[in-house]
Amino acid sequence: MRKYNLVVIGAGPGGYVAAVEAAKLGQKVAVIEKNKIGGTCLNVGCIPSKAYLKHANWVEEMSEANRFGITNDISNIDYSKLVERKDGVVSQLQQGIHYLFKQNNVDYYEGEAQLITSHEIQVNGEVFESDYILLATGSRPFVPPINGLDSVSYLTTDTFFDLKEQPKELVIIGGGVIGIELAFAMAPLGTKVTVIEVAPSILMTEDEEAIQLIRQKLKKMSVTVIESAQIKEVTAKQIELSNQIIEFDELLVVTGRKGNLAIADALNLEKTETNKFVKVNRFYQTSVATIYAVGDIVDGYMLAHAASKEGIKAVRHMFGDKEAPLKTTQVPKCVYTHPEIASFGLSEAEAKESGFDVLVSKIPYSANGRAIAGNETTGFIKIISEKKYHEILGAVIVGANATEMIHTILTVKESEGRMEEIEKMTFAHPTLSEMIGEIGSQMII
């Protein structure tokens, strides 16, 4: 029987990062993955979608270039080349994880793990013994009960990126982050896209001003958005709503995800009140002391970077470091539309509800020299702070490079800095990030 200090089940962002961290701490580690190394994020989520979004951005940039004296022809798009590039990106990153495992002496096994006891795991007929087990089993698409859906062919994110031909008419059920990102990826390529959302708004968890800008851009791209939709029935090539019929040649259902809890259920690990997640303490320890759980199977943000940080903190707790757990206010949320949306912490409404005397300052991209020169004037930066001591409570950036710039503000907050520290910084000119400095100056006057 092989013996380990830690066996990680799941090789997604929560699992493989935790495994490498444990190995760096001198532990003997194994990782078991039943599907593909890299998990949902690398294979059918974050990375493939960003590759497609880049293709869409290239098309938009070339279209804009035609307005300003650089003539080019984008009438013909070879979709197979897009798919080929996406596959190459995924493969390169998969090999990178394999290299990390090899470099850090992490043993990797492909196969389905079965937990025999709280210390014993079986895979491919072989039994391992481990001091600790980390569950990082991720999630799968959640498909709601929609009349007729079971009798038609439809896609989820698990299958969408396998398409070899570009859809002519794509209907997306679900106006959350994934659905809207894929609308932005496909519409510039020439696909007619319709987004159907049963909630009152797309991107429900985002800043309302940000949502308005995204709605405007979707309209500009000729994407049809139907909010507060009532879906009556789905048939082979159309969706019947309460007041109209929508036709499609491909249907994509992106209505959320649910955790892969089979292993947790097999061991009767305690669940949360909703029964949707494994219950863990502040250090990601389950009701069985030697078993920890992170990522999509625990309550919190279903985000790759959150899972990775949780995995690191869980491993450090196992092997003696009782560092503080991850707070949701420390986690940046990103939407890779064009313009991008990035945020963290409390919204203005949440800050007021929490009893803070709130000060909000905002600066538009249209006032920034780099944004004007770069033809990226859509968007704004908004920082929410506490009026008396200038403590940073949250921030929202909508616009070009938002998902990169948000970390400047978050770093100041995490370093226990206030708006004064932002005001003291010298930002290069012309840059988009100098808008952050300008807001700092405004808010402490």
Q: Which residues are catalytic?
A: 429
DSSP string, 377-398: ---EEEEEEETTT-BEEEEEEE
Q: How far is CA 76 from CA 23, 149, 192, in A?
A: 49, 33, 16
Length of the chain equals 445
Of 425, 329, 336, the residue nearest 384 (C-alpha): 329
* Residue pair 292/286 in contact by the 8 Å Cβ criterion: yes
- Spell out the residues 6+ positions from residue 331 whose beta carbon is closer than 8 angstroms to its own: 301, 303, 305, 306, 309, 344
Peptide bond into 339 cis (omega under 30): yes
* DSSP secondary structure code for residue 107 in this structure: E
Task: Please work out, in degrees rounded to the nearest 5, the angle formed at the alpha carbon of residue 17 by the alpha carbons of 13 and 21.
Answer: 165
Of 278, 296, 297, 277, the residue nearest 288 (C-alpha): 278
Of 423, 416, 350, the residue nearest 384 (C-alpha): 350
DSSP bridge pairs for 325:
none
Q: Which residues of 260-286 are buried (b: 16+ CB within 10 A; e: fewer)?
A: bbebbeebebebeeeeebbbbeebbbb
